[in-house]
Amino acid sequence: MAKITSFRTVRWVRTLNLLAQVVLFVSLFAGLNYLAIHYGWRFDLTTNNRHSLSPETRAYLKNLTQPVRVIVTLNADSDNEQVTHAHRDVTGLLREYGFATAGNARGKVTTEFIDVFQRRREAELLGIDQPNTILVLCGDRRRVVGLDELYRVENQEKKAFRGEQAFTAAILDVSSPTKKKIYFLTGHGEMAVDDVSPARGLSALDAELKARNFAVDSLDLSLSRKIPDDAAVLVIAGQQGRFDAAEQELLRQYLSNRAGRILALLAPGYPTGLDDLFFDWGVLVDDVVVFDSGTSAQSETGDLILPALEKDHPITSSLLSYKIPLRFGLSRSVRPDPGRTLDTNLEVKPLVATSEQAWGERNYRERGTPKYDVGVDMPGRIMVVTASERRTARSNLPFTVPGGRLVTFGSADWIANGRLGVIGNLTFFMAAINWTTDRDIDLNVPARPIEKFQLALSQEQLQRLRFSLIFILPGLAAALGIVVYITRRN
């Protein structure tokens, strides 16, 4: 073979060789990117699949027919460590929702991060007036996901991240074509959703329910004599007059025959006319007013500070996890009926109670300073909130079908405008609404445990690590450079 002796020819050969290498190099990366975009595979090798969605969530997202927007106002640079951690966890999770719906032209899930202070007008148009809010939107349907829904907390310490459960449930809710409707009963002096007064108005609660994609309306049974078919929940809010026998029968049939749901918030001192209904559901409503002499059981205004009892019930689990108390005004006793008939399908649980120093005052209509009378008043811890649920077996199948649900509260003014935002009142009411409307149904989505790693080093070990980073590693790099320099020079 003839040798190339011309320097010009050698330069051209080298130049063409370099160009060929560049073309091949660019072609290789272009091809790899093309394959990654169109034929990509993703593998989650973490222990608890922290970076992938569950099969159930992916199945739901595959069938989405409408676009869903997730608006996040969490600040990554917040001074609140809880908000910072939530921003990190939520960002990674929502990225997976976007990736899972990238090929769904009709039902994509998109995420937007908004600073409510810098983009105030845009936030106002979305109905967001506070930071650290997560809003899920689909058309005109919306639902707010609270920070307390994202984590399972035990003894004020985060144990597991439940973000996938919360976001999947919210997406399913807002993408549903119909809103669940809540009716507030009227005609007996009840508190009204269009009333803005702080003592008995429910306008703030009305706004909170609508922000969570509920439809709210009023219903007067004395006029309609019928409960609408679209009633998801009936709310009795502080009635001051008796329900007549026909109205009580309507409510009984609604609970029993239609698996209805009722929240009964009963102000003390007023007869309800619903004694037979409460008896059917294993609840005893006592005609007393609760007083509590415990040092930590009253607020500065005389309100009752009440702890939750049942850690396994969906209504009270979050309150107990975060150790959040409730604040009620005048309250009466609402407890499981000790003389109720044995019914294996009926489950009655007390949810909220006073301290051991409380009592139920029977002579509350008499003037003077209330005091406990032995043998007259109800002693000890007084139950204030009780939940009843009836489950029925379907044929010979090994599972039960949820029936009616009744939550009875011994107070009503705690959801009024003046008290709704105090301590855990709104959280408690929304938990009751979610339970009665089946929003609490657990998806088959496992919570992801939060793993903590701590590196414990002694002072001597820290000193060694410091010298290694400052001297040894840079010294090795310098020595390697000297060796390469001497080799190339020789």
Q: CB atoms < 10 A from the CB of 256, how many?
A: 15
Q: How confident is the model over 329-386, as pLDDT tens digits?
A: 999 999 999 988 778 889 999 999 999 999 999 999 988 888 899 999 999 899 999 9
Q: What's 99's domain CATH number?
A: 3.40.30.10
Ranked by mean pLDDT, which of 139-148, 210-219, 370-379, 407-416 comes out on top? 407-416
Q: Is there a single domain that holds both residue 206 and residue 252?
A: yes
Share of residues in the chain with pLDDT > 70 (%): 89
Ranked by mean pLDDT, which of 12-16, 56-60, 187-191, 465-469 comes out on top? 187-191
Q: What order of strands is seen across the sheet that includes strand 134-138?
A: 109-113, 68-72, 134-138, 141-145
Distance CA 15, CA 401 (A): 78
Asked, for residue 319, whether it belongs to a domain, the answer is yes
> What integer is the mean pLDDT of 82-110?
87
Final residue of a domain: which of 387, 408, 436? 436
Asked, for residue 7, whether it belongs to a domain, the answer is no
What is the secondary structure of 234-258 as a DSSP string?
A: EEEES--S---HHHHHHHHHHHHHS
Asked, for residue 466, whether it belongs to a domain, the answer is no
pLDDT number for residue 107: 87
Asked, for residue 3, whether it belongs to a domain, the answer is no
Q: Is there a single domain that holds both residue 240 and residue 125?
A: no
The gap from C-alpha 171 to its chain's centroid, in whole angstroms, comes to: 13
pLDDT number for residue 406: 97
More confident residue, 188 or 32: 188
Distance CA 292, CA 294 (A): 6
Asked, for residue 238, whether it belongs to a domain, the answer is yes
Q: How confident is the model over 439-458, as pLDDT tens digits?
A: 765 455 666 666 554 455 56
Q: Is there a single domain that holds both residue 158 and residue 208?
A: no
Asked, for residue 152, whether it belongs to a domain, the answer is yes
Q: Give the bridge partners for 306, in sequence order.
A: 326
Q: Is there a single domain that holds both residue 128 and residue 209?
A: no
More confident residue, 183 or 438: 183
Q: What's 345's domain CATH number?
A: 3.40.50
Q: Is there a single domain that holds both residue 332 and residue 386?
A: yes
pLDDT number for residue 284: 96
Residue 75 predicted with pLDDT over 50: yes
Q: Is there a single domain that holds both residue 163 and residue 201?
A: no
Asked, for residue 29, whether it belongs to a domain, the answer is no
pLDDT number for residue 453: 47
Final residue of a domain: which of 131, 148, 173? 173
**Structure tokens that stand for 386 in this block:** 């009780």
User: Of 216-220, 238-242, 318-322, which gets the smallest average pLDDT?
Assistant: 318-322
The gap from C-alpha 162 to its chain's centroid, in whole angstroms, comes to: 9
Residue 483, H or E segment: helix 473-489
Q: Which domain holds residue 426?
A: 187-436
pLDDT number for residue 106: 85
- R_g (Cα) of the chain, nearest Å: 32
Ranked by mean pLDDT, which of 49-58, 271-280, 476-485 comes out on top? 271-280
> What integer is the mean pLDDT of 159-180?
84
Q: Is there a single domain that holds both residue 233 and residue 311?
A: yes
Q: Is 130 exposed, middle or buried (0-12, 13-18, 19+ CB in 10 A)?
A: exposed
> What integer is the mean pLDDT of 299-317?
86
pLDDT number for residue 319: 83
Share of residues in the chain with pLDDT > 90 (%): 40
Q: What pTM value is reported for the model?
A: 0.68
More confident residue, 298 or 280: 280
Q: Is there a single domain that holds both residue 351 and residue 397?
A: yes
Final residue of a domain: which of 173, 205, 230? 173
Q: Is there a single domain that holds both residue 165 and residue 257?
A: no
Q: Is there a single domain that holds both residue 234 and residue 311?
A: yes
pLDDT number for residue 160: 80
Mean predicted lDDT score pLDDT of the chain: 85
Residue 72 predicted with pLDDT over 60: yes
> What integer is the mean pLDDT of 187-211?
93
Q: Is there a single domain that holds both residue 209 and residue 270?
A: yes
Number of folded domains in the chain? 2
Q: Is there a single domain that holds both residue 155 and residue 199?
A: no
**Structure tokens that stand for 167 in this block:** 């976001």
Q: 404: pLDDT confidence band, cut at 50, 70 and 90? A: very high
Asked, for residue 179, whether it belongs to a domain, the answer is no
